[in-house]
């Protein structure tokens, strides 16, 4: 039915002037509502809240942590969940022939060639002279180990490279002497991780605490920064995987040391740092069946990951702070929570809260693969593959979150790139993808 009844017209029924005024005011209000609202408090207020949050995390005061995280969301206003750098999307081809098992197995030869050509690690290198990250060693190990599990034709050569890399990580661990996989105290690196480390080391020197954080040229303590959790988490998981494939006890010993170090560290305000330790501790529990690792993983997730996630609004499921709202970090945290969920007993008290968080996080970003395009490859592929490795009952417990749809788009993009130029993966993620393809019936 028309809004104008029969016989009505704008000519015969003049629109009252006051109604025009109401419409104008309404339109102005609507336009204003669509503009991003400014931060409700100054950056100084956000900084003070972050300091209070850090203290609450150190004291494991969950009530205060959640309260302060909520206050931060309020202060951010419409910026909560908006990445500090705008998302960039790439379109996947509509039609791509699936990667064959033969192509996947051949991919492990490319990983082996890459590792042999690019490996820089060696025992006795000077850590103050190398602009390389421990995480680079971890991803190469993981790529090689995926080939071993997939029974690739070159699995002996892959295992040899993985063992050599693992022994290097054990050597760096011994240099630090605390169980952590340390960070090279290289100064002046252009990599963002080294720039952050350089600032940290400079502040430590200015405060007279450099000897507390550096030993034998290795940064072995991050004080309250939390950054060491990143590389320690990745390398620790790689060492556990190396033990599972090689059955060499020295790698289990080293891996356990990384987990013990992580379990003792306080959570920090950068949620994705904490999630690396969640992944490591969940892996430690899966391999050792020692309940203390499961308890530590649950605690870090409860205190150091879940409170930062938005519970409502247009960006529900994303992490509120603009750094962790970026897609790469978003899926890093999904990966950590999924690794924990994979080992949680069915009757675990916080199983539902972890499932709810994973579901919300997946729903928040997975839909963009089909509606907008691909905004991230490595982290999202890792998280989606891990989700697909869950049992049917575990996936059902989490619920529908468009994982298969997102994976299909990402798979088309990756297969197209692999055939075109050998991209787009790091060795570890590429190995995980090839292993997945090789295991398909």
pLDDT tens, 266-284? 999 999 999 999 999 999 9
Q: Does residue 333 contact residue 312 with C-beta atoms inside 8 Å? A: no
Assign 8 a pLDDT band (cuts: 50, 70, 90).
very low
Q: What is the pLDDT of residue 422?
A: 87
| SS3 at position 15 | coil
Q: Is the Cβ–Cβ distance between 338 and 390 less than 8 Å?
A: yes
The answer for residues whose C-beta is within 8 angstroms of residue 181's C-beta and 6 or more apart is 134, 169, 172, 173, 228, 231, 232, 235, 236, 258
- How does residue 31 score in pLDDT terms, banded at 50, 70 and 90? very low
pLDDT digits (tens, 9 = 90+) for 44-103: 899 999 999 999 999 999 999 999 999 999 999 999 999 999 999 999 999 999 999 999
Per-residue pLDDT, 191: 81
- Under 8 Å between Cβ of 345 and 354: no
Closest CA to 73 of 313, 333, 338, 419: 313
pLDDT digits (tens, 9 = 90+) for 107-147: 999 999 999 999 999 999 999 999 899 999 999 999 999 99
Tell me the per-residue pLDDT of 271-323, one tens digit each, with 9 for 90 and over: 999 999 999 999 999 999 999 999 999 999 999 999 999 999 999 999 999 99
Q: Residue 224 — very low, low, confident or very high, per pLDDT cuts 50/70/90?
A: confident
Q: What is the DSSP string of 72-116?
A: HHHHHGGGTT--SS----BPPPS--PPPPHHHHHHHHHHHHHHHH
> How confident is the model over 24-37, as a mean pLDDT?
42
Instruction: Output 420 or 31, whichever has higher pLDDT.
Output: 420
Lowest mean pLDDT among 67-76, 183-192, 258-267: 183-192
pLDDT digits (tens, 9 = 90+) for 340-378: 999 999 999 899 999 999 999 999 999 999 999 999 999
Checking if the pLDDT of 14 tops 90, the result is no
Pairwise CA distance, residues 142 & 238, whole Å: 6
pLDDT at position 46, please?
92
Region 414-436 average pLDDT: 95
Cα–Cα distance measured from residue 250 to residue 252, given in angstroms and rounded to the nearest whole number: 5
Is a pLDDT exceeding 80 seen at residue 32? no
Percent of the chain with pLDDT over 70: 90
With a CB cutoff of 8 Å and minimum separation 6, the contacts of 23 are: none
Q: Which residues contact 313 (CB under 8 A, 6 or more apart)?
A: 80, 81
Looking at residues 380-404, what average pLDDT do you find? 97
* Confidence grade of residue 160 (pLDDT, cut at 50, 70, 90): very high
Residue 32: φ, ψ to 5°? -65, -40
Query: What size, in residues, is the chain?
Result: 441
Displacement of CA 265 from its chain's centroid (Å): 19
Cβ count near 163 (within 10 Å): 18
């Amino acid at each position: 039915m028309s809004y104008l009844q029969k016989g009505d017209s704008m000519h015969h029924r003049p629109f009252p002037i006051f109604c025009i005024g109401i419409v104008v005011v309404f339109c102005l209000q609507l336009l204003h509502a669509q503009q991003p609202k400014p931060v409700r408090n100054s950056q100084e207020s956000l900084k003070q809240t972050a300091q209070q949050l850090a203290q609450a995390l150190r004291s494991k005061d969950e009530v205060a942590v959640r309260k302060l995280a909520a206050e931060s969301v309020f202060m951010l206003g419409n910026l909560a969940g908006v990445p500090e750098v705008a998302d960039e999307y790439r379109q996947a081809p509509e039609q791509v022939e699936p990667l064959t098992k033969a192509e996947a197995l051949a991919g492990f030869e490319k990983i082996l060639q890459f590792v042999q050509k690019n490996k820089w690690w060696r025992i006795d290198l000077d850590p103050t002279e190398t602009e390389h990250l421990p995480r680079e060693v971890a991803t190469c190990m993981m790529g090689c180990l995926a080939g071993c599990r997939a029974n690739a034709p070159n699995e002996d050569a892959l295992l040899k490279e993985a063992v050599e890399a693992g022994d290097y990580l054990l050597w760096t661990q011994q240099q630090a002497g605390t169980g952590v996989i340390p960070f090279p105290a290289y100064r002046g690196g252009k990599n963002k991780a080294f720039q952050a480390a350089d600032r940290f080391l400079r502040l430590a020197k200015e405060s007279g605490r450099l000897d507390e954080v550096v030993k034998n040229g290795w940064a072995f303590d991050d004080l309250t920064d939390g950054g060491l959790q990143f590389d320690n988490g990745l390398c620790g998981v790689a060492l556990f995987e190396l033990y599972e494939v090689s059955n060499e006890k020295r790698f289990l010993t080293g891996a356990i040391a990384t987990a013990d170090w992580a379990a003792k560290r306080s959570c920090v305000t950068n949620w994705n740092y904490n999630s690396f330790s969640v992944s490591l501790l969940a892996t430690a529990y899966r391999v050792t069946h020692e309940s203390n690792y499961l308890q530590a993983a649950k605690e870090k997730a409860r205190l150091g990951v879940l409170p930062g996630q938005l519970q409502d609004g247009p960006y529900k499921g994303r992490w509120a702070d603009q750094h962790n709202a970026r897609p790469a970090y978003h899926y890093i945290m999904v990966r950590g929570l999924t690794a924990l969920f994979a080992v949680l007993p069915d009757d675990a008290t916080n199983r539902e809260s972890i499932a709810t968080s994973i579901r919300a996080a997946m729903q928040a970003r997975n839909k963009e693969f089909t509606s907008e395009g691909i905004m991230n490859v490595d982290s999202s592929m890792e998280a989606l593959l891990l989700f697909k490795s869950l049992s049917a009952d575990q996936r059902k417990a989490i619920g529908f979150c468009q994982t298969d749809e997102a994976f299909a788009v990402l798979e088309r993009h990756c297969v197209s790139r692999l055939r075109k130029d050998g991209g787009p993966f790091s060795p570890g993620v590429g190995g995980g993808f090839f292993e997945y393809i090789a295991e398909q019936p």
